[in-house]
A and B are shown apart, each in its own frame.
Chain A
């Protein structure tokens, strides 16, 4: 039987995202080491999930990846974080780092400005859009995160009237509007409803070619759904970095095995992914 190929072989996806390379990353608070020399590669165009018990340093790691610790006194960061070869602590300016490496927090934090202003404020300050392009930019990013229909009639309105999930999507639109190379997500769906959670997970998968994603998650079924690779941490140390399949099927470290088994009580079978 003759099989016609309608669209030829699936076109190789063009990856425009950039890799992030972390070496010997340490964060100290007074005498305490919150991160004890982390080595990890976040490959371009992949989603890396960071998992580990509460307090193991996941948030601390993420915040070190866009220099958010620079603003908190009493924390010392050492080691190197390279975005496509450029050290974000030595070679790049702070504002460039913040533009190119975006962050979404656990709790949505829209600014006390209109919905449209929330989306475009970063793009405008980084010179990515003028005043005239603001509306189109807002529409494009809001469409991308699936919020457009809900807010198109109240772009000038108060973002705090939106539901928690909608607020988080707005924050995602805000982060995407500055065209980041890397997106850091710190348990972005832990306080959200299932619709917003599904929406964000879908976006993470769709964004992969453009943006290198690092996501902290406590939800192993979410990790299974969105991640390509997993970084497992305990007490400020890297335990293992593995392909997502390997992480769940045959983890090399006994601590990983225990963690997966412990958390996996509720974990459904790995789903087929696109």
Chain B
């Protein structure tokens, strides 16, 4: 009897906790979609914010993400591989410390440092490259960490087999360690992209904003992106601006959802692979 009551209490608490997590998330999503639904039209994709659409912001977000991918992937994966496979204990712990400090810097500070260094000191002004660099600095620690973890999870027996056969380190890395680690590495990369897609602060002082489509130049031209529209346009006193802000938030959410699903798929694939090896 008491047992049943305790059980009931426990389950009620669990459900409550779950509701507290899921509820607000669902409320946000449903609210956004409901507000966006009536204004959803191809015009959002065909017009720039200057003309009452989101084309430039969507492009800007995608171009920034592509830039982050191009920079953060080699830097983050390279550093992660170095830490997991080649660094001495002391080097690795120093490196890890630096990486954690970097990860701990508030994103607005990263943005401001980018402004001082890139926009002012180097004279780039507001620029695409500045925005990409600020976002990259923000997410590289995640890529490093996930790469390192993915390599450390490769079964020791594979390392020993490669060592016992006299394979050089680079070949062991390439042919033996990387294939099973790859899904984990990619998952980290996708998560990093998701983080950077949702950020505004590092971009405010570096890429700033533009209501025209992104420039072909890397420097001296501001760039628009979705999260800025969310941040700024809700403060504007027009109904159309509010609608744009809602639509931009929905687009951002949708992109994040895509990236999260992708990272889930990659993670599941990674698990399957390791299980299959049965090591």
Contact across chains for B279 and A122 when beta carbons are under 8 A apart = no
CA distance A160 to B275 in the complex (A): 10
What distance in Å separates the Cβ of B78 from its nearest Cβ neighbour in chain A?
21
- In the bound complex, residues from chain B placing their C-beta under 8 Å from that of A98 are 163-166
A-B pair count, CB < 8 Å, reads 74
A99 lies within 8 A of chain B by Cβ:
yes
CA distance A73 to B88 in the complex (A): 11
Contact across chains for B175 and A121 when beta carbons are under 8 A apart = yes
B interface bracket (residues with beta carbon within 8 Å of A): 20 to 34
B277 lies within 8 A of chain A by Cβ:
yes
In the complex, residue of chain B having the shortest beta-carbon distance to the beta carbon of A98: B166
- In the bound complex, residues from chain A placing their C-beta under 8 Å from that of B157 are 105, 107, 109
Partner-contacting stretch, out of A19-27, A34-42, A171-179, A229-237: A171-179
What distance in Å separates the Cβ of A159 from its nearest Cβ neighbour in chain B?
9
CA distance A109 to B279 in the complex (A): 7
- In the bound complex, residues from chain B placing their C-beta under 8 Å from that of A158 are 276
User: With A107-B157, A111-B175 as given contacts, are A95 and B168 in contact (CB-CB < 8 Å)?
Assistant: yes
A112 lies within 8 A of chain B by Cβ:
yes
Encoded as 1 (CB less than 8 Å from any A CB) or 0, chain B from 216 to 234 comes to 0000000000000000000
Most buried by B among A102, A109, A160: A109
In the complex, residue of chain B having the shortest beta-carbon distance to the beta carbon of A99: B166
B171 lies within 8 A of chain A by Cβ:
yes
What distance in Å separates the Cβ of A106 from its nearest Cβ neighbour in chain B?
9
What distance in Å separates the Cβ of B43 from its nearest Cβ neighbour in chain A?
49
A113 lies within 8 A of chain B by Cβ:
yes
A66 lies within 8 A of chain B by Cβ:
yes
CA distance A6 to B212 in the complex (A): 96
A249 lies within 8 A of chain B by Cβ:
no
- In the bound complex, residues from chain A placing their C-beta under 8 Å from that of B277 are 112, 160
B13 lies within 8 A of chain A by Cβ:
no
Contact across chains for B180 and A68 when beta carbons are under 8 A apart = no
In the complex, residue of chain A having the shortest beta-carbon distance to the beta carbon of B154: A112
Contact across chains for A160 and B166 when beta carbons are under 8 A apart = no
Contact across chains for B179 and A103 when beta carbons are under 8 A apart = no
User: With A111-B175, A112-B176, A112-B180 as given contacts, are A66 and B164 in contact (CB-CB < 8 Å)?
Assistant: yes
B116 lies within 8 A of chain A by Cβ:
no
User: With A109-B158, A109-B279, A111-B158 as given contacts, are A102 and B176 in contact (CB-CB < 8 Å)?
Assistant: no
User: With A107-B157, A109-B160 as given contacts, are A160 and B167 in contact (CB-CB < 8 Å)?
Assistant: no
Q: Which of A68, A71, A112, A174 contacts B179 (CB 8 A)?
A: A112
The 9 closest A-B pairs by CB, nearest first: A98-B166, A112-B179, A103-B164, A109-B161, A109-B157, A122-B165, A95-B166, A99-B166, A160-B276
Residues in A lying within 8 Å of B, measured CB to CB: 66, 68, 71, 73, 94-99, 102-103, 105, 107, 109-113, 117, 121-122, 125-126, 158, 160, 164, 171, 174-175, 178
